[in-house]
Amino acid sequence: MSDAQKGEQRGRARPMFGPGSRGHGMGIDKAKNVRGTLRRLLSYFRRYRTTLVFVFVLAAFGTAMALIGPYLMGVAIDRLVAREAASVLLRIVGLMAGTYVISWVAQTGQGVLIATIAQRAMRVLRGELFSHLQRLSLKFHDARASGDLMSRLTNDMDAISRVLSQNVTQLFSGMLTLVGILIVMFILSPYLAMASMVVLPLMVGVVALVGKKTRSAFRSYQKNLGILNGTLEETYSGQRVVMAYGQEERVLDRFDRENETVRRIGAYAMTYALLVMPMMGVMSNTNVAVVAGLGGWLAVKGIVSIGLIATFITYSRRFAEPLRQLGDLYNQVQSALAGAERIFEVLDTQPDLTDTADAVELANVKGDVSFDHVDFAYVEDVPVLKDVSLNARAGQTIALVGPTGAGKTTLVNLLTRFYDLDSGAIRIDGTNIRQVSRDSLRRSLGIVLQQSFLFAESVTENIRYGRLDATDEEVIEAATLANADRFIRRLPKGYDTVLSERGANLSEGQRQLLAIARAVLADPAILVLDEATSSVDTRTEVHIQEALHELMKGRTSFVIAHRLSTIRNADQVVVIDAGAIVEQGTHEELLARQGVYHRLYMSQFRGRAK
């Protein structure tokens, strides 16, 4: 039974390296197009074709050598029975050791080689997927939950990597071992081989039957575990709300119910999964009994030798392991293929915004920007912008004002070509931005977004993101201009402080200051500030405003803000409501007009205006 146990621990140990649960109810899933996916996955090995052939030769050779050992052992025992000279015995034992050593060399070599090329291929695949994600437009990213993409790049890759680097050769040598043992057994003694075969269909049947049961039980287990983990995730994320509303009991109630289900189904699924082991054990032992009993009888009749019986016992013990592995591998290969299919699905998404073939580079931008009868909808038939026209002369500051959802941010999305407009045109210095390359367009724009995003790098690196070749002095200069220098210097390591993920160790206001410093460093011709100071208190904002004021000098600037104080100094105030421009003019003009802007402005004086 020992072979079988070795397999058990290997099989059981496997999930420990991977994520125990895949979040939301993903069980053992199957690829839809197995053959196509497999072929495409294997195409990543094309470069290593020669090595791969060598790997399989080594695997076959190693397996064959390993199978010779038990045969030689039988021969040795027969020589013992025949009481031949010790020198004969020594020669056979030497041969045995030799074949085992050769087998070791072959199998180690094979394992090392396949591990190497599998990881290389994984690197290529990972890199390809990542580069492809970079090419896809925001439309794609907005529509996809990033958790889902993340899972593809991690869990799915992991599943594939495991199968490629370990299981493929396991599968191959497993099958070779099976076939090899069968052949050798029949050559050595058809009778004993036939007797062993009596147990074989039973073994196959058990593996298949239990395997099937296990799969469905596991699917249900994974699903329920997914639900439970989902509940936990949600509870913890909302723990403060749970506490604030005193809903602990309710949370625990639901948790207990789901936890109990998982326990019950888990016990059921595991019992089935682990049933294969004792089953294989009893089969294997039965086989030994049959071989020993029948073999003994045949030996007495002089048909087989004692050595042969010993050989058979060893073989039949080695038979169980690959058989069990095959059932186990089936699931892993299936879920790896399903993962591969999900990855290829992303790779097959065509980037929908590409530069035209004759796109020109936008250079030496003066900063005249015009929106000319722009229409846009994210989803067909739900227009977000309707016939928007506005002109910004070089150096002007344009304030965009309006209620949430009016379409202010959409204007930015269009100007940056995160999305392409449906009709109309946006021009910079008279050139339609559709005619220029997106990279050169974006290089001439400096954008500070609503949610400032920072990377888990040093403060310097984060600011330098605006211009990669900036010197340290320039970085500090930019930070100073953005009023960020002071707080940066108070960080534990100043500019070299490495931020935690997404800059979580900074306050929202500090994050925004860094994002502004980044834009300062980029030194763009056109500046876009999308609620850049919304999370900074108004007095700090005053500091930033000064900095921004400096920055905006000589640049065309688009400023989106809820706070009207931010936009009083603009050359033009554009009031947008429901996707259309409703008012346009300076702060004073618009106030005098007593229209929408006036109402928005006055609403700040609640109570007094009434």
**What is the footprint of another protein within residues 38-67 (CB under 8 A)?**
62, 66
Among 26, 67, 77, 476, binds another protein (CB under 8 A): 77
State which H helix or E strand residue 45 sits in. Answer: none
**Contact characters 426-445, another protein, x per CB under 8 A:** ------------xx--xx-x
Determine if 379 is a binding residue for another protein (CB under 8 A).
Answer: no
Determine if 325 is a binding residue for another protein (CB under 8 A).
Answer: no
Q: In terms of Cα–Cα distance, which of 560, 212, 566, 214 is closest to 413?
A: 560
Q: Of 219 and 443, which CB lies nearer to another protein in the complex structure?
A: 443
Determine if 357 is a binding residue for another protein (CB under 8 A).
Answer: no
The contacts of residue 182 (CB under 8 Å, 6+ apart) are 193
Span from 53-61, 250-258, 357-365, 390-398 in contact with another protein (CB under 8 A): 250-258
Among 253, 260, 352, 588, binds another protein (CB under 8 A): 260
Nearest distance in Å: CB 585, another protein? 19
Determine if 359 is a binding residue for another protein (CB under 8 A).
Answer: no
Structure tokens at 279: 């089953």
DSSP string covering 192-235: HHHHHHHHHHHHHHHHHHHHHHHHHHHHHHHHHHHHHHHHHHHH
Q: What is d(CA 157, CA 123) in angstroms, rounded to the nearest whole number?
A: 10
Determine if 594 is a binding residue for another protein (CB under 8 A).
Answer: no
Task: Give ∠ CA 183-4-63 in degrees, rounded to 5.
Answer: 40
Per CB under 8 A, contacts with another protein among 3-22 are 3, 5-6, 8-10, 12-13, 15-17, 19-21
Among 33, 43, 119, 354, binds another protein (CB under 8 A): 119
Q: Of 31 and 74, which CB lies nearer to another protein in the complex structure?
A: 74
Q: What is d(CA 136, CA 352) in angstroms, rounded to the nearest whole number?
A: 7
Q: Of 31 and 362, which CB lies nearer to another protein in the complex structure?
A: 362
Determine if 568 is a binding residue for another protein (CB under 8 A).
Answer: yes
Among 190, 205, 403, 554, binds another protein (CB under 8 A): 403
Among 38, 133, 182, 582, binds another protein (CB under 8 A): 133
Span from 96-104, 176-184, 362-370, 420-428 in contact with another protein (CB under 8 A): 96-104
Among 179, 243, 347, 363, binds another protein (CB under 8 A): 243
Determine if 175 is a binding residue for another protein (CB under 8 A).
Answer: no
Among 416, 556, 557, 572, binds another protein (CB under 8 A): 416
Per CB under 8 A, contacts with another protein among 300-319 are 300, 306, 309-310, 313, 317
Nearest distance in Å: CB 526, another protein? 12
Span from 39-47, 253-261, 365-373, 585-593 in contact with another protein (CB under 8 A): 253-261
Quick check: helix, strand or coil at residue 432?
Answer: strand
Nearest distance in Å: CB 152, another protein? 10
Among 271, 356, 389, 471, binds another protein (CB under 8 A): 271
> Would you say 11 and 315 are in contact if contact means Cβ atoms under 8 Å apart?
no
Among 39, 198, 216, 236, binds another protein (CB under 8 A): 236
Q: What is d(CA 153, CA 135) in angstroms, rounded to the nearest whole number?
A: 16
Task: Tell me the torsion sign for CA atoms 256, 260, 266, 271.
Answer: positive
| Alpha-carbon distance values, 569 to 513, 552, 556 (Å) | 21, 11, 14
Catalogue the E-assigned strands of 89-173.
Answer: none
* Cα Rg of the chain (Å, integer): 35
Q: What is d(CA 80, CA 419) in angstroms, rounded to the nearest whole number?
A: 84
Determine if 259 is a binding residue for another protein (CB under 8 A).
Answer: yes
Give, as one character, the DSSP assignment of residue 598. H
Span from 29-37, 211-219, 362-370, 507-515 in contact with another protein (CB under 8 A): 507-515
Span from 36-44, 235-243, 334-342, 385-393 in contact with another protein (CB under 8 A): 235-243
The contacts of residue 360 (CB under 8 Å, 6+ apart) are 431, 435, 436, 437, 440
DSSP string covering 296-318: HHHHHTTSS-HHHHHHHHHHHHH
Span from 188-196, 323-331, 364-372, 452-460 in contact with another protein (CB under 8 A): 452-460
**Contact characters 195-234, another protein, x per CB under 8 A:** ----------------------------------xx-xxx
Span from 210-218, 280-288, 334-342, 374-382 in contact with another protein (CB under 8 A): 280-288
> Would you say 577 and 400 are in contact if contact means Cβ atoms under 8 Å apart?
no
Tell me the longest C-alpha to C-alpha distance in the chain: 120
Span from 40-48, 446-454, 550-558, 579-587 in contact with another protein (CB under 8 A): 446-454
Q: Of 34 and 242, which CB lies nearer to another protein in the complex structure?
A: 242
Q: What is d(CA 252, CA 221) in angstroms, rounded to the nearest whole number?
A: 21
State which H helix or E strand residue 18 sits in. Answer: none
Determine if 491 is a binding residue for another protein (CB under 8 A).
Answer: no
Q: Of 389 and 451, which CB lies nearer to another protein in the complex structure?
A: 451
> Would you say 555 and 491 are in contact if contact means Cβ atoms under 8 Å apart?
no
The contacts of residue 192 (CB under 8 Å, 6+ apart) are 185, 291, 294, 295, 298, 304, 308, 309, 312
Q: In 3-state terms, the chain is what percent helix, strand and coil (to 5)?
A: 65, 10, 25
Per CB under 8 A, contacts with another protein among 140-169 are 141, 145-147, 149-150, 153-154, 161, 165-166
Determine if 492 is a binding residue for another protein (CB under 8 A).
Answer: no
Among 37, 63, 103, 572, binds another protein (CB under 8 A): 103
Determine if 250 is a binding residue for another protein (CB under 8 A).
Answer: yes
| Alpha-carbon distance values, 456 to 150, 449, 499, 510, 561 (Å) | 17, 18, 5, 15, 28
Nearest distance in Å: CB 553, another protein? 16
Q: Which residue type, as a one-letter code, is found at position 324? A: R
Strand order in the sheet with 556-560: 445-448, 526-530, 556-560, 397-401, 572-577, 580-585
By CB under 8 A, the count of residues binding another protein is: 184
- Helix/strand/coil (H, E, C) string of 553-586? CCCEEEEECCCHHHHCCCCEEEEEECCEEEEEEC
Q: What is d(CA 508, CA 492) in angstroms, rounded to the nearest whole number?
A: 18
Determine if 297 is a binding residue for another protein (CB under 8 A).
Answer: yes
Per CB under 8 A, contacts with another protein among 537-556 are 537-543, 545-546
State which H helix or E strand residue 134 sits in. Answer: helix 86-135
Determine if 257 is a binding residue for another protein (CB under 8 A).
Answer: no
